[in-house]
Amino acid sequence: MDTTDPKAQADDRRIRMGERLRAIRHEQGLTLADVAARSGLAVSTVSKVERGRMALTYDRFTQLADGLGVDLAALFSEHGERFQPGQVAVSREGEFALHVTENYVYEMLFPDVWNKAMVPMLGTLQPYSKMNFERFVSHAGEEFLMVLDGSLTVYFEDRPPEILGTGDSLYFDSRRGHLYASAGAEPARILVVCAKIGDWPG
């Protein structure tokens, strides 16, 4: 498989993600129905992820990780170490776990550092007209984003959208339904950090 091709990379990533999910499920002696019940996802959804047929959005990934009782990063990396007090972790350019969904391309930073209080990601977003949204994304926690290149429209549920330019940033309650899309004709690059607060598991 040509891993220099973006589509090939995405296909390979989905397959490896599915293999990782299946391995975790088998280690815990769980059936597909068990994982579905624990995560609140449909059995068909869990099955499609395991077979590399579907890439979940961030909110559904957190549901899956919480249902399995594992850190979110454990779904991206087989080997990792828990973040320790006083630890300093460095991520060099190009060091990330690629996660490609129907609408977003995310570079998950520090996939080998587990139990982080924050989940940092770089993202590449297409214009809204090129995306296929069925629902708003919503998950526990708080979220920070900064536009690194281009312009961005952040759509909110029950609130007017925000348009951000390069260098602009936003901080909000992730429980409010939200969507990101490039506000221009070209893709936009963003930095996103999702923070765990309160009793958010993981």
Query: Is 62 in contact with 99 (CB distance < 8 Å)?
Result: no
Model pLDDT, residue 78: 80
Mean pLDDT check: name the lowest of 5-19, 75-89, 130-144: 5-19
User: What are the φ/ψ torsions at residue 60 (nearest 5 degrees)?
Assistant: -75, -25
Span 99-125, pLDDT tens digits: 888 788 899 999 999 989 999 999 999
Q: Which pLDDT band holds residue 202 (cuts at 50, 70, 90)?
A: very low
Buried-state track 91-107, b at ≥16 Cβ within 10 A, e below 16: eeeeebbbbbbebbbbb
Asked if the model's pLDDT at residue 201 lies above 90, the reply is: no
What is the sign, positive or negative, of the torsion defined by CA atoms of 50, 116, 189, 175? positive
- Does 130 or 151 have the greater pLDDT score? 151
Q: Do domains 6-75 and 83-195 have the same CATH topology?
A: no
Span 5-27, pLDDT tens digits: 656 766 777 888 888 899 999 99
In the block, tokens 């899956």 appear at 64
Local structure of 50: helix, strand or coil: helix
CA within 13 Å, CB half, 202: 28
83-195: in CATH 3.40.47.10: no
Model pLDDT, residue 198: 57
The 3-class SS string of 17-29 reads HHHHHHHHHHHCC
* Stretch 61-81: mean pLDDT: 86
Going by C-beta distance under 8 Å and a sequence separation of 6 or more, which residues neighbour residue 4? none
Per CATH, which fold does 6-75 belong to? 434 Repressor (Amino-terminal Domain) (1.10.260)
Write the CA distances from 44 to 37, 47, 56, 120, 156, integer angstroms: 12, 5, 13, 29, 28
Q: Which pLDDT band holds residue 4 (cuts at 50, 70, 90)?
A: low
Query: Is 73 in contact with 81 (CB distance < 8 Å)?
Result: no
Query: Is 132 in contact with 198 (CB distance < 8 Å)?
Result: no
Identify the top-confidence range among 41-55, 103-117, 118-132, 173-187. Answer: 173-187
- What are 132's two structure tokens? 């296929």
- Per-domain residue ranges of the chain: 6-75, 83-195
Percent of the chain with pLDDT over 70: 93
In the block, tokens 């708003």 appear at 136
